[in-house]
Structure 1
Amino acid sequence: MTKSELIDAIAAGVDGLTKAKAEQALNVTLSAIMDTVARGDALNLVGFGSFSKGERGERIARNPRTGEKITVDAAKTVKFRPGQKFKDAANA
């Protein structure tokens, strides 16, 4: 599903909601999620899942073409843990 298909689904699921307003609502929702996680706070959506900020340490990797060892810098990541309802839907 693409973002435009999701917007169409949101607009179709709410009576009287235009595609423009659905897109605006989705953009605000995604911005709120990104801002919350960027601050280092966790965001919990009961039944759906939780988003949080994580860290990946520096590590040594190999270039698959040459076999040369390279250092991969530490990085911040986003963690997502699905909620039970989400897990149940995925396993149905």
Structure 2
Amino acid sequence: MALEQETVVKADLVDHVYERVGFTRSEALNAVEVILEEIKSALGRGENVRIVGFASFNLRRKNARRARNPKTGEPITIQPRTVLTFKPSRHLLEATNRTTHESDDSG
């Protein structure tokens, strides 16, 4: 059975900050945007981002490599690039699995 998923968007995060912290909606929006912008800026500077108890955003350099065009079979070179990886913390994984198992038990 497929897990039903909802998507939390930035507006939802702003609402949660507004409700839980007591900021005005404008202050909550600012807080969320500042945090997201700082994560983006750090990654743009080539820095990894680690949020203890949540996750790490890591940049990995991938070297050029040879591959084949799947349509033609022709050999091609894939250029070197930087990829972004997301590694959830143990706490986040445990919380996710706990939530998933609770949902399975109720069905």
Task: Flag whether TM exceeds 0.5 (same fold).
Answer: yes
Cα distance in 2 for residues equivalent to 1:51 and 1:61: 27
Structure 2 residues without counterparts, runs of 5 or longer: 1-7, 99-107
1:4 equivalenced with 2:11 (yes/no): yes
Question: Which residue of structure 2 lines up, in the alignment, with residue 39 of structure 1?
Answer: 45
Provide the rounded CA distance (Å) in 2 between the counterparts of 1:82 and 1:56. Answer: 21
User: What amino acid maps onto 2:10 in structure 1?
Assistant: K
After TM superposition, give the deviation of residue 60 of structure 1 in Å: 3.4
1:49 to 55, 60, 63: 55
Deviations along 1:30-60, one digit per CA (max 9) or x if unpaired, are 1111222222222221111122221122233
Number of residue pairs matched by the alignment: 91
Q: Secondary structure at the match of 1:79?
A: strand
RMSD over equivalenced CA pairs, Å? 1.9
Distance 1:66 1:8 in 2: 50
Greater radius of gyration (CA): 2
Give matches, 1:1-92, under 5 Å.
Answer: 1-15=8-22, 17-92=23-98
Aligned AA for 1:42? Answer: N
Identical aligned residues as a percent: 34
Verify the 8 A CA contact 1:52 1:79 in the aligned structure 2.
Answer: yes
Give 1 or 2: higher helix fraction.
Answer: 2
**Following the alignment from structure 1 to structure 2, what is the Cα–Cα distance between the partners of residues 20 and 65?**
51
Say which SS state the counterpart of residue 91 (structure 2) adopts: helix
TM-score (norm 2): 0.70
SS at match of 1:91: helix
- TM-score between both structures, scaled by the size of structure 1: 0.78
Structure 1: segments with no counterpart, 5+ residues? none
